[in-house]
A = this chain, B = another copy of it.
Amino acid sequence: MKNTFGQSVSVTLFGESHGPAIGAVIDGLAPGIPVDEENIRRMMQLRQPGGAISTARKEADVVEFLSGVLNGRTTGTPIALIIKNGDTHSADYQQMQSLMRPGHADYPAMCKYHGFQDTRGGGHFSGRITAALTAAGAICMTALSGRGILLGTHIARCAGINDRPFDDLPADLRALETASFPVLNGDAGEKMKQAILAAREDGDSVGGILETAVLGMPAGVGEPWFDTLESTLSHILFSVPGIKGVEFGDGFALSDKRGSEANDPLRYLDGRVVTETNHGGGIGGGISNGMPILFRSAVKPTPSIAKAQKTVDIKNQQDVELRIRGRHDPAIVHRARIVIDAVTAIALCDALCMRFGTDYLAPQDTETL
């Protein structure tokens, strides 16, 4: 289904970085869900560049609804939202249309689209498209919260510096909601920022690891084969630009453990079944078990760097040296986290509605006809 994700709740993305607008169509959300403009603004702002550690490009990122929202609530029909583009410096890019930027989609895109693609600003591959994705996810976040499902992401590691792990989840998630640099340990955060600035000084960039927690996910969601919850989540996570690894629970670390260390013992707590540990990240056999869902996403360093790089000029068919000009992020890990939140919310809304029906996300106080 190409640029569409989801079966019961689906999101279709469109737009190019320097076109008139980018946007998304969200279909399948129940009618009556509040569209919380404040939450959309919050998430759009957290995605936006700002300060020394981000690109200087200023995007207003105003989300306009063309359909599917009336009187502040979803109508139940497709929600089309657009974000107009502006402040584009196409000249920065035009000169290098035939120079394939290393680490970018330029060359694979050329193979796929044979040169007809819009290359300005990365075109349809631009990280800018995640603004529309974030807006779509923001609506899904509100829908989930109506069911008591909360989620959030912190920078678990950046430039070799570790944040502290999740501890008191409700409090940690609340703290992350408004953090523009989302760490649980402020000192670690400061060190990360220093490292990012140092990389920038060197005309370079850094990556990191994002860790996400979901609270309140009901047990029994996911399919045994192919549409496991891990499959569905990783599917959408790996479509976020720069994500090169995804692990659930203890993930790769599990491969060094023994079964007796990796298995999560079960027990009763206040009449409910829980696990004593959560190495599995809240998913067993591909299905949620009612524990918090935990996963980590590896973000590669931003590919646009000031340093000279070797690449090819496909027009003149020769090897060249490339120096990328323009405005670029020395790190996107702190901005990417809200995109991770957004896509997680989208995937969970879809999985929940496939399981429990469209009305699962309808406001609980709604009188139905």
A100 to chain B, nearest CB (A): 5
Residue of B nearest to A210 (CB): B255
A317 at the interface (CB under 8 A from B): yes
Chain B residues with CB under 8 Å of A66's CB are 14-15, 19-23, 82
A74 at the interface (CB under 8 A from B): yes
A165 at the interface (CB under 8 A from B): no
> Do the beta carbons of B255 and A300 come within 8 Å of each other?
yes
Chain B residues with CB under 8 Å of A27's CB are 1-4, 12, 14
> Do the beta carbons of A10 and B1 come within 8 Å of each other?
yes
Interface string of A87-107 (1 = CB under 8 A from B): 000000000000010111111
Chain B residues with CB under 8 Å of A5's CB are 225-226
In angstroms, Cα B247 to Cα A235, docked, is 12
A25 at the interface (CB under 8 A from B): yes
Known: A14-B66, A207-B255, A225-B239. A124 touches B75 (CB 8 A): yes
> Do the beta carbons of B236 and A226 come within 8 Å of each other?
yes
Known: A108-B289, A227-B1. A268 touches B312 (CB 8 A): yes
> Do the beta carbons of B311 and A265 come within 8 Å of each other?
yes
18 contacts across the A-B interface (CB closer than 8 A) = A2-B78, A3-B225, A5-B226, A20-B67, A21-B66, A22-B67, A31-B117, A231-B239, A239-B286, A244-B281, A254-B298, A255-B299, A259-B301, A259-B307, A262-B300, A266-B312, A280-B300, A357-B359
> Do the beta carbons of A124 and B258 come within 8 Å of each other?
no
A341 to chain B, nearest CB (A): 17
In angstroms, Cα B224 to Cα A239, docked, is 7
A288 to chain B, nearest CB (A): 6
User: Among B116, B226, B259, which residue has its beta carbon within 8 angstroms of that of A76?
Assistant: B116
Q: Which of A133, A202, A255 has the most CB of B within 10 A?
A: A255
In angstroms, Cα B81 to Cα A19, docked, is 12
User: Among B78, B257, B266, B314, which residue has its beta carbon within 8 angstroms of that of A124?
Assistant: B78
> Do the beta carbons of A75 and B116 come within 8 Å of each other?
yes
In angstroms, Cα B12 to Cα A119, docked, is 25
Q: Which of A108, A205, A241 has the most CB of B within 10 A?
A: A108
